[in-house]
Every structure is written in structure tokens, then in C-alpha cells.
Structure 1
């Protein structure tokens, strides 16, 4: 938290000074001594919450002074706010290796489920598009705020074929509005293997960097991943090094996910990064309201219990 007028925080010094003054005033001996012979009777009928009634009004008054001093200093808090017209393209690998079951229930199903939850987390103002690819980019959905369309397209994806990562990234860039004075955009690439065909992903990452579109990559799967094809078991480990290179070149960030839980964490992190920006917002009103409520409480309790203001 920061303050626009921090000098007003010096007003907080009034609180300990007032507390010391109150304690000194209460320690002064009474000017008159009154004899009351029925002390035992008085103790029996006197209320037992006298200590609370004695200390609560001045305590509330001190809190009111502190709240007002902080409010005058105009505190600011950093909060995440939606970015107007921001867009993100989800680029999802649907090659045959996504049938591997090292990620429960299999890589593609886990990816679709995590993407669904990602769509639920990001701001409503964020436009989301989709590119699904195998030997080529076979599904391209331009950015939209209609989450139903994106989710239904995700649900229909099936895993088969090779991996053309570079072609998919090119399709994602073409679907985005990029260039000077265009709204912010990003690409989330989820893949589980090395690019086997099409354009060089590193070269496309250079284009993304020039267009100011960071690529966040997610390497899905484990080194133990295998698939059954043509009666053979083929090892299909992910290629995090290649995806790391794409992320570094484009100015994004690389993640790895070896299970569905880790994939959810990655998408949750991305959901807080994409479509929002950090801004400082003044929160003086909250402290002023707290101070006024505390002041009203001090006045009410003092008048109710003591017949005068604190």
C-alpha cells in the first residue's frame, strides 16, 4: 500500500498522545473523598462489565482518529483490473500423442478441462479465440466474448496426426488484431511434443515479439508417456526445451505440467496474468467510513453508559 499524501500519517501520533493523556487523567486522585459504609452491598449490585464500559468508548475514539488520519493520507492499493478489448488465443495441440494417459484421463481431455476452467476465471471483457492443430491448424476461432462458442469448439476436439506448432502460431497471430495502437493480446500454446512439420516455431515467435504478442507455453505430459499405434507402443515425451525457446523469444513465459492438477495451477496463473493489469486505486473511502463508524460507536456507547461524550 502507498499514500498520495503521506504527511497526514503524522496525525497517527495523536493516538498515543491521547492515550497517555487519558491514563494520566485517570491516575489523578479524586478531589473529594466520599464515605459509603455499605461497600459490600454496592459491590453486589454494581454491574460487572464496568471495565468494558470504561474503556470501550475511548478505544473506539482512538480507532476513529487513526482511521481519519489514514484516510487523509489518501492510501492506494494495487489491484488487478480488466484490460479493455484485450484478446488471447488458446493454441491447443491435438496431435496423436495427446491420447497418452500419463495425464489423467488423457492429455487432450485434461487440456480441454483446464481450458474450460480458464475461461471461467478470466474477466468477461477478455476476448478469447482458439486454434487447434495437428499436421496443420485445422480449427481457427477468432477472438470472441462468447464463452459458449469457445467451449463447444474445445469439446469437439479429437487427437490424431502430427505436430505443426509453427503453422498454428501463425494462424493465431493472423486471428489477432496486431500492430500499432491495437489492443493488447497474448497467445497460450499448449503442446506435448516437438514440432515435426510446417514453419519453424522460433521464427514465428520472432514475429510475435515484433507484434508485441507474448506467447505463454505449457509443456504437457511426462517422460513416461506412451501411445498405442499400429500395434506398437510409442514413447511420446514432451519437449519443454523447444517450448521454452518459443516463450523466451516472444517475451512470454514457459510452464510445465506433468498432471492435471499442475495444469490447473498453470491456467490459474495465466488467468491472473492475461486480460488484467495492475493499477493503483485510492481506498481512502474505506478508511474514512471505518473512522466515522468508530466515532459513531464511541459517541453512542459513551452517551448510553456515561451520559456524556468521551
Structure 2
């Protein structure tokens, strides 16, 4: 703990000591006077002693607290807050043009993403990744909300889907270097360090065109780095058709794969089968609560404690003696 006016701490020590000595001297004089008058031959005890001394003890205890409060004390305390990095990852493959979620899967995901950004505190940096067959970082993590929302509004659909690339691109943005899966089955995964304050939120219909095992391996890499993946399913299990290069292609939400990816990292799958559910998705996604050291002024704490002691002592005096002495 530090104080702005250290001399008041010395004054609190000296002043409290002097007040205690003065009170003890006053009590000795009072006892002597009672003995001379023949009224103090038997020392008071029990409840009488408590009533006699407790109010004054409370008053004396309040004195150093008041002086310490005036010294403007502060301390470095761990303060819980939502903080860290959130990567918003948007599926922009052709299937996201489907209209089983109005006005389209991608448009609904864009609206949900922008609303999510608006709800985040300034302590959270947000980045944007888009993915189809490959992944592309379109906005590095930043606290500039306008830049993030501009990156979200520029999305358009094309190509197929690689959730593996989506996760690896988001991980690369979090750790600050390219991240790839091992090329050999017996090779050790890369050591990415620990990024416990980072979260990846994937908006997708789960229509993976690569091997699901590759996406799960990428999720395991994220889990090893302490990064949690939250998945948001955009679409309906019944699905619909979408036109791709002149052909009508059936597409439906694959909830199982999205659920598996989030579960690997300790995250949660969030179904969002209509625009209203997507708009409120920020309410169901829990970000990381961390503690950060922050200097907190403790003046109010000491002043409030002193006031409480003075008030309690005064009330006891009024109740027991009918006055404040």
C-alpha cells in the first residue's frame, strides 16, 4: 500500500498513542477519585466494564482510520474484467448465400458479428478472419470498433469450405506467427505458448469440404494453446438449395462438426437458426474473465470504516447513558 501524504501516517500512530495514554490516565484519575469518595472500593466488571469502555474504544479506533484515509492510501489490487483477444471468423463459402436464414446466412452472420462488436468493452481487442477454401486475415486484432465493423461489412461469398484453414488463420493472428499442422502423423505439434485470454468465434454452416479430422486437429492445436473456440451454427438442419455456377446445390447446417470443434477446446456450440437468435448471440457467448493489477484508492474504505465506528460508538453512548460524552 502507498500513501500520498506519509506524514499523516506518522501522525496517526503518534496521535492514536497519545489518545490511548490520555484515556488510560483519565481512567486512573477517575478510579482514584471514586476511591477517595468511597465509591470505587469494588472494581466494576462484566457488562459494566463493557459499557464503560467499549464506546471509547470505538472512538479511539476511528481516529487512526480517519488520519490514514486523509493520507490518500492506494493499493495494487487484482481487478476482474473481460479482456483479451477475440477473433471473429466468418464462413464466406458459396453455401453461406443460402436464404434459410433471412436475408441470407452470410448477411445474418454479418449483422450478428457487428452487433457483437458493439457490445464488447474497450478491454477486448477484436480481429476478423474470413474463410472459404483458404483463410484470410482481413482485420488484425484491434480496439478500433469502426475498423472491425468495416471489415465485416465487406464480406461476400465464394468457393468451398475449410474449417481447418479458418482455425489456423485465427491462431496465426493470435500468436503473431504462421501456424500450420504437422505434415507427418508422428510429428510433434508446434508449441504456440499459452494464450488463455484469446477466443475464436466461428460463424459457419459447418458444410466442410475437407476432412473433418483436419478441422478437429486444428481445434486440438488451439486447445493446447489455451484458446477456446465458440461456434455459431448459421442455417437450419432442413436446409435449402443455393445456386453455384448455374447449378442448384443442396445445403444444410452441420451442427455435429461445429459442436465437436467447440467441445475440443472447452467451448460451446450456439445454434442460431433465425436472424433474431443471431442478433442476440453475444448474450450467450462467455468471454474470458481475467484479473489485471490496478491501483485503487482506499480513502473511501478507511473513511467509511471510521464513520461506522464513530456512529456505532455514539449510538452505544446514547443507548447506555442517554448522551454522547
Give the TM-score taking structure 2 as reference length: 0.58
The answer to whether structure 1 residue 193 and structure 2 residue 206 are counterparts is yes
Alignment correspondent of 2:74? none
- The answer to whether the Cα contact below 8 Å between 1:226 and 1:235 also exists between their aligned partners in 2 is yes
Q: CA deviation at 1:100?
A: 1.3
Q: How many residue pairs were aligned?
A: 231
Alignment counterpart, residue 277 of structure 2, candidates 262, 267, 281: 262
Q: CA deviation at 1:139?
A: 4.0
Deviation readout 1:159-198 (Å, 9 max, x if unpaired): 1211111011111111112844656211111110331037
Q: Distance in 2 between matches of 1:129 and 1:195?
A: 23
Q: CA deviation at 1:268?
A: 2.3
Alignment correspondent of 1:38? none
Q: CA deviation at 1:251?
A: 1.9
Q: CA deviation at 1:246?
A: 0.7
- The answer to whether the Cα contact below 8 Å between 1:224 and 1:235 also exists between their aligned partners in 2 is no
The 5-angstrom pairing of residues 147-226 of structure 1 reads 147-177=145-175, 179-180=192-193, 184-197=197-210, 200-226=214-240
Alignment correspondent of 2:105? 107
Structure 1 runs, 4 residues or longer, greater than 6 Å off:
none
Alignment correspondent of 1:92? 90
Q: Distance in 2 between matches of 1:220 and 1:254?
A: 11
Alignment counterpart, residue 126 of structure 1, candidates 121, 124, 127: 124
Pair 229,82 (structure 1): closer, same or farther in 2 beyond 3 Å: closer
Q: Distance in 1 between matches of 2:133 and 2:152?
A: 18
Q: Distance in 2 between matches of 1:266 and 1:100?
A: 20
**Residue ranges of structure 2 left out of the alignment (5+ in a row):** 1-78, 177-191, 315-322
Deviation readout 1:73-92 (Å, 9 max, x if unpaired): xxxxxx96233xx1111111
Helix, strand or coil at the partner of 1:267: helix
Alignment correspondent of 1:81? 81
Between stretches 231-240 and 98-107, larger displacement belongs to 231-240
Q: CA deviation at 1:125?
A: 1.6
Helix, strand or coil at the partner of 2:284: helix
- CA RMSD of the aligned region, Å? 4.2
- The answer to whether the Cα contact below 8 Å between 1:226 and 1:233 also exists between their aligned partners in 2 is no
Deviation readout 1:239-270 (Å, 9 max, x if unpaired): 11001111111221111110111122322222
Helix, strand or coil at the partner of 1:176: helix
Q: Distance in 2 between matches of 1:116 and 1:261?
A: 14
Helix, strand or coil at the partner of 1:173: helix
Q: CA deviation at 1:147?
A: 1.5
Q: Distance in 2 between matches of 1:121 and 1:104?
A: 22
Q: Distance in 2 between matches of 1:159 and 1:262?
A: 22
**Residue ranges of structure 1 left out of the alignment (5+ in a row):** 1-78, 300-307
